[in-house]
Amino acid sequence: MARVKRGNKRVQRRKKILDLASGFWGTKSKNHRMAKQAVDKALNYAYRDRRQKKRQLRSLWIVRINAAAHLHGLSYSRLIAGLKAAGSDLDRKVLADIAVHDAAGFGKLADAAKQALDQAAKNKPVSAEA
């Protein structure tokens, strides 16, 4: 069989790993074997955390909306139910931004939600369990 010397391909592959590992501490940025392990783990974390970031931001938005809703005498779930009944199609990202930057505007949304909840309670038929 012919002897394979690899040549540039080996150098290029190692250089790619070491470039990705630049900024890592100590051996992880200098030794190819250690750098490969560190880069693989870092890329796995990056992949995972791109998805976790979406969950964490949604959770943050809900916390902010809940805090603002309580200032107006509503819980988070009642506010969302009232906005849904009022026909609002604002998502949580926009609601959280309004809650943080425009307290008066959020107050109007909370009032609209309260009115929609009151209207829904009036229109709800009385059950015949008695």
- CATH assignment, 53-122: 1.10.1900.20
| CB-based contact 110:79 (threshold 8 Å) | yes
Domain-by-domain residue ranges, the chain? 8-51, 53-122
Identity of the residue numbered 29: S
Indicate the pTM of the whole model: 0.78
Q: What is the CA radius of gyration of the chain?
A: 28
The reported pLDDT for the residue numbered 128 is: 59
Residue count of the chain: 130
Q: Which residue has the tokens 């290029």?
A: 12
**For position 127, what pLDDT does the model report?**
66
Q: Is 68 helix (H, G, I), strand (E, B) or coil?
A: helix
Distance CA 85, CA 79 (A): 10
Residue spans of the chain under pLDDT 70 = 126-130
- pLDDT value, residue 1: 83
